[in-house]
């Protein structure tokens, strides 16, 4: 995704201050920073995720903002690297005066955690890695991780008499941390477990696909962060003739670029996590489609929630990083676009009741199990 495409989308952000009612004096905006890849191979996610945050800001501003201040989304490019994440966060906080950050990707979040504590500015991310941010005072996660999806998979695999699970992970810190958790889920279901790790710098995974075929699995778990490696591996596994049911560790089917890359091979796949429900999130889905031309995925919806979480925390305290952090750490009852409300757990991961297991049937997601 070209930088100009992403920046053109972001340039409209300032308009979200406009819907506020006119007053004798315009109050300075409260800025919500976003450290996201605006260039590089993962830049396409910005065009799909960031509109969720923008729509939340627009909704809040239409009803008077926060304490009369408009919310303004300000993004900086990380190029999805740790160094880029740190530089982007420093720029937002130390130059732009941002007091709340939304961020993404385990490698970036890991690098930003010490900086968040140093600068006393909270971050909220949607990483899948469990327990990572618990050691940071200022880092939080709004996501359905393996801790919440694991019991759903265990029960389903046990009911399906799954005895052999072959898993594909990114060959990075995320994969190394995720694999032991997946092993525990498989073993709890009474299944043997074999992992493989995908080199994200290549695109030929047929050797690993052969290993999977020789293992003769009853289930294949794919957890490679939804990127090109994941979609390529799925296609190559199926092209080799492996027909075992395939499970994804998140509901990436709702992400347009993922769905287009996998194509017809997504039919019949299972997805563990949260999905954007038509019945509950009708207004959000309609607004997102009007803005982008396509349907939102769960990541965009989570970013919508994150902005609402920050707005609620600022409303209860002030536009100050430490004050926002203190409210976030004990927040409860924040309405979620997924339905129900959001509460922050003691480990800095949100607690949600919308986790489930979904299957693609005739091109549509169908819920087949709940948490």
Contact of 334 with 312, CB cutoff 8 Å: yes
Mean pLDDT in residue range 72-100: 97
Residue-wise over 75-99: b if at least 16 C-beta within 10 A, else e? Answer: bbbbbbbbebbbbbbbbbbeeeebb
Please report which confidence band the pLDDT of residue 13 belongs to, taking 50, 70 and 90 as the band edges.
Answer: very low
Convert the pLDDT of each residue in 182-195 to its tens digit. Answer: 999 999 999 999 99
Convert the pLDDT of each residue in 92-107 to its tens digit. Answer: 999 999 999 999 998 9
Report the predicted TM-score, pTM, of the whole model to 2 decimal places. Answer: 0.81
CATH topology classification for 3-144+280-351? Rossmann fold (3.40.50)
Q: For residue 97, give Cα distances in angstroms to 32, 84, 114, 196, 320.
A: 10, 18, 18, 43, 10
Q: Spell out the domain ranges in the chain.
A: 3-144+280-351, 146-276+355-370
Q: What is the CA angle 51-33-292, rounded to 5?
A: 10
Q: For residue 102, give Cα distances in angstroms to 13, 53, 70, 87, 310.
A: 15, 9, 17, 14, 10
Give the CATH architecture of domain 146-276+355-370.
3-Layer(aba) Sandwich (3.40)
Q: Determine the pLDDT at residue 262.
A: 97
Pick the closest to residue 313 from 297, 298, 326, 304 (CA basis).
326
Cα separation, 208 vs 232, in Å, equals 12
Query: Of all helices (H) and strands (E), which one includes residue 344?
Result: strand 341-344
First to last CA, the chain: 36
């Amino acid at each position: 995704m070209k930088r100009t495409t992403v920046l053109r989308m972001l340039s409209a952000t300032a308009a979200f201050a406009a819907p506020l009612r006119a007053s004798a004096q315009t109050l300075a905006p409260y800025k919500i920073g976003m450290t996201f890849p605006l260039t590089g191979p993962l830049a396409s996610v910005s065009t799909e995720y960031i509109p969720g945050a923008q729509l939340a800001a627009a909704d809040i501003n239409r009803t008077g903002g926060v304490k009369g201040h408009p919310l303004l989304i300000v993004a900086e490019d990380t190029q999805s690297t740790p160094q880029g994440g740190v530089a982007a966060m420093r720029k937002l906080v130390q130059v732009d005066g941002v007091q709340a950050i939304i961020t993404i990707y385990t490698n970036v979040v890991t690098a930003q955690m010490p900086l968040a504590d140093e600068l006393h500015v909270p971050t909220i991310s949607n990483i899948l890695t469990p327990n990572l941010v618990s050691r940071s005072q200022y880092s939080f996660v709004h996501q359905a991780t393996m801790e919440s999806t694991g019991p759903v998979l265990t029960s389903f695999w046990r009911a399906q008499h799954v005895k052999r699970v072959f898993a594909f992970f990114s060959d990075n810190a995320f994969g190394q941390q995720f694999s032991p958790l997946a092993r525990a889920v498989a073993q709890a279901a009474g299944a043997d477990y074999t992992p493989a790790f995908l080199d994200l710098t290549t695109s030929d995974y047929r050797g690993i696909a052969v290993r999977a075929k020789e293992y003769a699995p009853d289930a294949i778990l794919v957890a490679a962060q939804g990127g090109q490696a994941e979609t390529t591996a799925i296609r190559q596994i199926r092209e080799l003739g492996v027909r075992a049911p395939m499970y994804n560790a998140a509901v990436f089917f709702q992400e347009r670029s993922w769905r287009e890359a996998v194509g017809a091979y997504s039919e019949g796949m299972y997805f563990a996590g949260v999905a954007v429900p038509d019945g509950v999130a009708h207004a959000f889905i309609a607004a997102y489609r009007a803005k982008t031309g396509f349907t939102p995925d769960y990541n965009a919806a989570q970013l919508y929630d994150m902005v609402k979480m920050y707005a609620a925390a600022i409303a209860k305290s002030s536009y100050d990083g430490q004050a926002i952090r203190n409210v976030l750490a004990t927040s409860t009852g924040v309405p979620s676009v997924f339905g129900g409300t959001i509460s922050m757990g003691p480990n800095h991961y949100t607690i949600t009741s919308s986790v489930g297991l979904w299957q693609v049937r005739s091109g549509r997601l169908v819920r087949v199990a709940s948490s």
